[in-house]
C-alpha cells in the first residue's frame, strides 16, 4: 500500500467523525432542534444537581435516581475541569474529547500487524446512530475506559484489570471485560489488579463521603422499563385490555400493574442463566487468541444487556464500543453481531427520542420499533454466543492440520499477525 493510500485509510474516518460530531454538538447545544423529548435535561438538571450535592460532601443518597457506583462522582464532577464553560457545555465538550480518544485508540491499534481500521469505522458510525443521547449521558466516558482496557490488556494484563475495576465503579458493566482473559498468568495478573484497584477505590470513596453504596438498594428495586425485552409482554398485553400503566419510577419509565413483578423476576432469571452460560463457557473453553478477551466481553455485555429489566438507549454505546474493539482484530469473528448492534442502535434512536411517545403509549409504531430493536439485540446475542463457543470450545476438538510455529521476531520488528505477546498463536491450536 502506498503512503498516500495508508494515510487516506485514517483520514477518511477522522473526517467523517469530525463532521458527524459537529452535528451532534450542534444538536445537544440546541443550535439544531430535533423532535421528541429534550434528552439534554439529564445533564442540565439531574447531573448538575448531583454535582452540587457531591460538592457539599455527600453522595445523593436521598435521591433514588442515583443508581451509580461511587466513582461515577468523578464523571459528574468532571465539568469543573473546564471552569470557563457552564456545566452543561463543559460536559458535552468532555464527552466529545472521550469520543475522540476512543477513535484515536482504535485507529492507532488498527495500524499494527494483524489489526485493521474496521473497528474505527464501527465507532464513527455507531455514536451518531444513537443520536443526541450519546452525548447527553456519561456512558461515552465509561466506554472510553473499557476500550482502553481491552486494547491495552493484550500486553498489559494488570492495566486491563485496573481499568476494568475503575470502569466497574463508574458503571458496573466493565467488570465483564475480565470474563475472557486467558487462563494462567494473564488471568492471575488482571484479576488480582482488578481486586486490589476495586478495594482501594471503594475504601477511598467510603472514606471521602457518606452514601457511597446507596446505589445498591436503588438498583435492586427497579422494575420492568418500557424499552426492555420483558416489556414486550405488556406492550402486547395492552392491545388486549391489560390494566397496567406507565409511570416514572426509579429514574425511568416503567410498567406498573398486574404481573409486572413476575416478568421482572423472570428477567432476573434470564440474567442468571446468562451468567451460568458464561461460567460453563469459561470452564470449557480450550483456546484463547488475540481477539478472545474482547469477543468474550462483547458477548457477556450483550447477554446481560438483552436480559436486563432496563435497556436504556445509552446502553447501546457499550455494545458499539466493544463491537469496535472486536473488529480491530483481523482474526475476529464478530462481524455479523457487530452489524446487528449497529442496526439496533439506529432503531434505538427512532424509538428514543424521536418516537418515544409511541413507545410509551404502546401504539402500533411503538410496538413495532421495540420488537425490531429488541429482536436485533436477541439475534446479536445468540450469534455472538454461538461464534464464541464454536471458536473456543467446539472447533478445537476437530481434526486439524499442524499449525506451523512462527519464528520469534527480532527486536524492533513488528509482531506476526496472529501471535500474541506470550507466543501463543491466535488459532484453535493454542490453549489459554
Helix (H) or strand (E) holding 256: strand 252-256
Verdict on whether the full-model pTM lies above 0.75:
yes
User: What pLDDT, in 10s, does the model give residues 267-326?
Assistant: 999 999 999 999 999 999 998 899 999 999 999 999 999 999 999 999 999 999 999 999
In tens digits, the chain (432 residues) has pLDDT values of 455 556 767 899 999 999 999 999 999 999 999 888 999 999 999 999 999 999 999 999 888 888 899 999 999 999 999 999 999 999 999 999 999 999 999 999 999 988 999 999 999 999 999 999 999 999 999 999 999 999 999 899 999 999 999 999 999 999 999 999 999 999 999 999 999 999 999 999 999 999 888 777 656 667 899 999 999 999 999 999 999 999 988 778 999 999 999 999 999 999 999 999 999 999 999 988 999 999 999 999 999 999 999 999 999 999 999 999 999 999 999 999 999 999 999 999 999 999 999 999 999 999 999 999 999 999 999 999 999 999 999 876 543 333 333 344 444 444 444 433 333 334 333 333
Cis omega before residue 410 (within 30°)?
A: no
> Residue 151: which of 192, 119, 106, 113 has the closest Cα?
106
Residue whose entry in the numeric block shows the C-alpha cell 467488570: 175
DSSP classification of residue 392 = I
> Residue 101: which of 151, 170, 160 has the closest Cα?
151
Can you tell me whether residue 114 is helix, strand or coil?
Answer: coil
Spatial separation of the C-alpha atoms in residues 223 and 309, rounded to whole Å: 6
Spatial separation of the C-alpha atoms in residues 128 and 125, rounded to whole Å: 6
Question: Under a CB-based contact definition with an 8 Å cutoff, are residues 253 and 290 in contact?
Answer: no
Residue 361 burial by Cβ neighbours in a 10 Å radius (0-12, 13-18, 19+): middle
Can you tell me whether residue 309 is helix, strand or coil?
Answer: coil
Amino acid at each position: 500500500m502506498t503512503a498516500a493510500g495508508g494515510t487516506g485509510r485514517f483520514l477518511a474516518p477522522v473526517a467523517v467523525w469530525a463532521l458527524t460530531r459537529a452535528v451532534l454538538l450542534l444538536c445537544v447545544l440546541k443550535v439544531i432542534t430535533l423532535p421528541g423529548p429534550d434528552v439534554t435535561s439529564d445533564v442540565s438538571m439531574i447531573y448538575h444537581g448531583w454535582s452540587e450535592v457531591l460538592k457539599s460532601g455527600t453522595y445523593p443518597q436521598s435521591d433514588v435516581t442515583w443508581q451509580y457506583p461511587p466513582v461515577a462522582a468523578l464523571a459528574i464532577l468532571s465539568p469543573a475541569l473546564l471552569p470557563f464553560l457552564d456545566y452543561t457545555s463543559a460536559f458535552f465538550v468532555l464527552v466529545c474529547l472521550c469520543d475522540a480518544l476512543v477513535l484515536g485508540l482504535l485507529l492507532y491499534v488498527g495500524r499494527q500487524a494483524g489489526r485493521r481500521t474496521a473497528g474505527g469505522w464501527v465507532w464513527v458510525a455507531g455514536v451518531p446512530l444513537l443520536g443526541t443521547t450519546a452525548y447527553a449521558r456519561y456512558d461515552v466516558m465509561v466506554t472510553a475506559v473499557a476500550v482502553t482496557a481491552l486494547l491495552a490488556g493484550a500486553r498489559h494484563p494488570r492495566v486491563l484489570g485496573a481499568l476494568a475495576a475503575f470502569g466497574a465503579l463508574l458503571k458496573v458493566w466493565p467488570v465483564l471485560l475480565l470474563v475472557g482473559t486467558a487462563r494462567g498468568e494473564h488471568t492471575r495478573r488482571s484479576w488480582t489488579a482488578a481486586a486490589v484497584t476495586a478495594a482501594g477505590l471503594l475504601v477511598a470513596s467510603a472514606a471521602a463521603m457518606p452514601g457511597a453504596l446507596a446505589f445498591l438498594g436503588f438498583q435492586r428495586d427497579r422494575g420492568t422499563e418500557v424499552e426492555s425485552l420483558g416489556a414486550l409482554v405488556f406492550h402486547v398485553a395492552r392491545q388486549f385490555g391489560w390494566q397496567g400503566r406507565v409511570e416514572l419510577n426509579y429514574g425511568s419509565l416503567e410498567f406498573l400493574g398486574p404481573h409486572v413483578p413476575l416478568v421482572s423476576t423472570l428477567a432476573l432469571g434470564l440474567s442468571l442463566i446468562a451468567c451460568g452460560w458464561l461460567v460453563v463457557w469459561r470452564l470449557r473453553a480450550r483456546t484463547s487468541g488475540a481477539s478472545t478477551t474482547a469477543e468474550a466481553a462483547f458477548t457477556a455485555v450483550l447477554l446481560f444487556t438483552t436480559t436486563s429489566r432496563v435497556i436504556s438507549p445509552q446502553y447501546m454505546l457499550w455494545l458499539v464500543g466493544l463491537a469496535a474493539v472486536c473488529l480491530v482484530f483481523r482474526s475476529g469473528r464478530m462481524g455479523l453481531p457487530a452489524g446487528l448492534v449497529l442496526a439496533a442502535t439506529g432503531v434505538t434512536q427512532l424509538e428514543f427520542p424521536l418516537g418515544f411517545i409511541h413507545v410509551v403509549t404502546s401504539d402500533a409504531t411503538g410496538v413495532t420499533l421495540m420488537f425490531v430493536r429488541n429482536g436485533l439485540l436477541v439475534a446479536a446475542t445468540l450469534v455472538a454466543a454461538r461464534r464464541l463457543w464454536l471458536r473456543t470450545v467446539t472447533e478445537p476438538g476437530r481434526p486439524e492440520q499442524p499449525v506451523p510455529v512462527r519464528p520469534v521476531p527480532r527486536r524492533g520488528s513488528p509482531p506476526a499477525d496472529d501471535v500474541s505477546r506470550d507466543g501463543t498463536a491466535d488459532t484453535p491450536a493454542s490453549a489459554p
